[in-house]
A and B are shown apart, each in its own frame.
Chain A
Amino acid sequence: MTERGAEGLKNRTPGAARARVWREAGATLVTLAVAAIIEILSSTALRVPNPPAFLLLAVAASAFRAGPRAGLISALIAWLYIAYFFSLPDRPFAYSDENFRRVLVWAFTIPALALMVGVQRRRLEGAGDLRSRELALEAQRATERRFQALIEHSSDAISLIGPDGIIRYDSPSAGRILGYAPGERIGQNGFESVHPDDLDRTGTLFAEMLQTSGGSVTAEFRVRRKDGAWRWLEGVGTNLLHDPSVGAIVVNFRDITRRREIEDEIRRLNLQLEQRVAERTAELREAKDEAERANRAKSEFLSRMSHELRTPLNAILGFAQLLEMDSLQPEQKESVELILKGGRHLLALINEVLDIARIEAGQMSLSPEPVHLQEVVRESLDLIAPLAAPRNLTVTGGAAVTWDRYVLADRQRLQQVLLNLLSNAVKYNRPDGTVALSCEETPRGRVRIAVRDSGPGLSAEQLARLFVPFERLGADTTVAEGTGMGLALTKGLVEAMGGAIGVESAPGEGSVFWVDLAPTDHPAEREQPVRATAAAPEGHGHMVLYIDNNPANIRLMQRVLEQRADIRLLVAMHGSLGLDLACQHRPDLILLDLHLPDMSGDEVLSRLQGDPRTLGIPVAVITADTRGDGDRLLATGARHYFTKPLDVRQFLVMLDRTLREQRVEGRV
């Protein structure tokens, strides 16, 4: 049905008319073909006895196929053929009234039927046409309803505005957003309700849009609702003035008030956050400055206190020492000894407080170097033995005294640490108890020195307060002496040397204090793994003169040169003595410190250069003064220049090279 309807609609076009003619021609030809078939059959045995009946059928078919015109033409053809058929001599037409009437009936019936069928057919076609037109209209209406629904139920709103800004159409949601009844705004000027602050901007954009046909702009702006509240809108305007079916500015807009509020809130929070960060930063900076000020004040206070306390102690200890030197009555002697003891205790306290303060302030200066552990251990055990003897304690070092390991530490401070741990182990011990020092490598590759005592042990509560200054555990119940600073200082020192300290203890089981330090290589072996020179006969050995008055430096040098068995070290603590020794022994190398008690190192150097006996001897200056005098000294005749702390490796390289050169020269 719909196909035909569509055909009916198409009839109006020229193409459709042509198709209709072709169809009519076709239908007519069918009738002709039927007549031709009858004619052909009439000469055979299958002769059609009554051709008009068949022709009627053909005419009816062609009228049905192609309408009344084709039906009538077909009827004419049928007529002509019937006339021809009966006019032939071999098909005698037995004339009778009866036959004539029969022919006449056929003659009328055929066109009548053609007309009837054709007209009926045309009517049917017309009906199909109408039906399809109705359907198309219906489809159009549905589409419109769909679009209407889309517009009406959209949360986005659509308005049509004239070039003058007058509102011509509002979609229902436009009214909803702005609080108007449907259509209420029509006729108003859309710009009247725009926020004054946004008016210029939106006006300019609107004007720009009017310039370009089809152009579109987007803007966010505020519009007053009917109830006076402001709403933020996001609008897209499109210029469709040129489109005859629209002829307006189409404005598509939505309410973005909530979004703007959130954005504003975010902006506000951000600003607040930034402000708070800035405030907090300022506060922190102030707190840091304050802490630094306080720290400086503390350091200053401590050094002043130290000074103020030492000054009166000078009189107390000084005069007491003088008294001690005099011949005194035993009672007096005891009194003086007590004064000295008390004074020295006070001095130790001051020193320890100052050390702790320095560690806390990061001002503790340490000189880490490879320290031969067994030496420090042995010395510490020797020093502690006199303390342990009166209590009949057994102090053992076990394998530690022969363990050939080096650790990276400040030698003097490491000894201080060990002495502190050992003296604690002695103090907090039972009579006839034991103190055992041991060394081992930890699983993490550190060197652990542990001191175990057989004392009463420590409770969990005591362990917690152990490293806190002035916490003298059980000091009231025992005769233990000490400043109360020892472990706090020890911890500070160990940590300043990059180590760790800890304790394991339980009441009744004694305590183990341990210190972990970083291991390091043998300082000399790194340079000279094969000590072949050790076998050198003494007569061919070298002589090195060291002019320095600091015992610690001398000791260090002695230890360094122990690695070179062929070297004999001469030491002079004064410049004048050094010069004498240099003249007498003509050493292979002179090591010269710049701070000597009697003359400056410069002077020693110039005198060595001035004397023909010592002129050729290479001189290496070793000084703690790092102000960069090196160049000047090298210019005045020093061969080498080293600063303290001495880089042992570098020093040994210089030593070996210089001595090699001297030997060659000597032979020449």
Chain B
Amino acid sequence: MRSETPVPSATSRNGATVLYIEDNRSNLELVQRILARRPEVSLLSATHGQPGLEMAGRCGPNLILLDLHLPDMPGEEVLRRLRETPQTRGIPVVVISADAIPAQIERLLAAGAQAYLTKPLDVKQFLSLLDQIIGERML
């Protein structure tokens, strides 16, 4: 069930775009609901790594949220490819994973992730990080 749903109204001229690569529906829905609190931010989502990469290249989102357990490729691989591709290498990536192993967190930060949030998400923390990154981009 591959889907590249451009969720709600994807393009708002003044707003920011966030791409969420995640295969778990309830996680996706949670982030959708959280982002509903930031009307200026629109959310794109991909449930698989490959379409996620394509979407990132095409749409150039302001921020990519990345899950590590994807059906087609490891999230780490997605991050590596995002960093390799010239169009996407400047886009900040925040990993959101249920893996809380310090060694893994270190590894992904070293591989270029801007932040590593563990599930369950702390909504306030997530929002402040989002505001910080998006805020900078917008400025």
Contacts and interface: CB of A to CB of B under 8 A. Distances in A.
Interface in A292-312: 303, 306-308, 310-312
B8 to A, nearest CB: 17
A321 B124 contact: yes
A307 B98 contact: yes
Interface size class of B (residues with CB under 8 A): 20 to 34
Given A306-B100, A314-B30, A597 B110 contact: no
Interface string A567-578: 000000110100
Interface string B82-100: 0000000010100000111
A322 B34 contact: yes
A223 interface: no
Contacts of A573: 132
A316 interface: yes
B27 A303 contact: no
A365 B102 CA distance: 8
B99 A624 contact: no
Contact of A597 (B37, B121, B133): B133
B88 to A, nearest CB: 14
A64 B34 CA distance: 157
Contacts of B122: 321
Given A597-B92, A627-B110, A314 B98 contact: yes
A313 B132 CA distance: 26
Nearest to B37: A325
B125 to A, nearest CB: 10
Nearest to B27: A314
A598 B92 CA distance: 6
A365 B101 contact: no
Interface residues of A, number: 35
B123 A321 contact: yes
A295 B114 CA distance: 33
Contacts, number: 86
Contacts of A351: 100
B133 A316 contact: no
A318 B115 contact: no
Contacts of A303: 99, 101
Of A314, A599, A627, which is in contact with the most chain B CB atoms at under 10 Å from its CB?
A: A314
Interface of A: 303, 306-308, 310-319, 321-322, 325, 343, 347, 351, 354, 363, 365, 573-574, 576, 595-600, 624-625, 627
25 contacts: A306-B99, A306-B100, A310-B100, A312-B26, A314-B27, A314-B120, A314-B121, A315-B26, A315-B30, A318-B123, A321-B123, A322-B30, A322-B33, A325-B123, A351-B100, A576-B136, A595-B109, A597-B136, A598-B92, A598-B114, A598-B133, A598-B137, A599-B90, A600-B112, A625-B110
Given A314-B26, A625-B110, 7 more contacts: A303-B101, A311-B27, A314-B119, A317-B121, A576-B136, A595-B110, A597-B114
